[in-house]
Amino acid sequence: MINRLKKIGFASKLILSMSLLSISCAKSESTSIDPGLVLPNHGIEEVTLQKNMPFPMGAAVNVSLLKSNANYRNLVIKEFNSVTAENAMKFASIHPAKDTYTWSDADYVVDFAVANGKRVHGHTLNWYKSLPDWVNNFQGSTADWENLLKTHIQTVVGHFKGKVTSWDVVNEAVNEDGTLRNSIWVQKLGPDYIGRAFQYAHEADPNALLFYNDYGHEFGPTKRTAILNLVTSLKNKGIPIDGIGIQMHTRVTQTDANLTAAITTAAATGLKIHISEIDISLNPDNVQSMTYTTALGDQQAAKYKTIVQAYKTIPKSQQYGITQWNVTDADSWIPSNYNRPDWPLPFDAQYQRKAAYQAILDAVK
Q: What burial letters (b/e) apply to 246-276, b meaning 16+ CB within 10 Å? A: bbbbbbbebeeeebbbbbebbbebebbbbbb
Of 277, 279, 329, 342, the catalytic one is 277
Distances (CA, A) of 83 to 1, 56, 173: 72, 10, 23
Active site residue 172: yes
Residue 146 annotated in active site: no
Catalytic residue (one of 79, 168, 214, 329)? 214
Evaluate whether 168 touches 158 at the Cβ level (below 8 Å).
no
Task: Choose the catalytic residue: 79, 86, 168, 172.
Answer: 172
Is the Cβ–Cβ distance between 240 and 194 less than 8 Å? no
Q: Is the peptide bond before 328 cis (omega within 30 degrees of 0)?
A: no
Is residue 214 among the annotated active site residues? yes
CA dist., res. 211 & res. 242, Å (int): 6
Up-side HSE of residue 58: CA atoms within 13 Å toward CB?
A: 30
Q: Is 102 exposed, middle or buried (0-12, 13-18, 19+ CB in 10 A)?
A: middle
**E strand or H helix at 244:** strand 243-246
Q: Contact at 8 Å (CB) between 230 and 186?
A: no
Residues contacting residue 41 through CB under 8 Å, at least 6 positions apart = none
Q: Which residues are catalytic?
A: 172, 214, 277
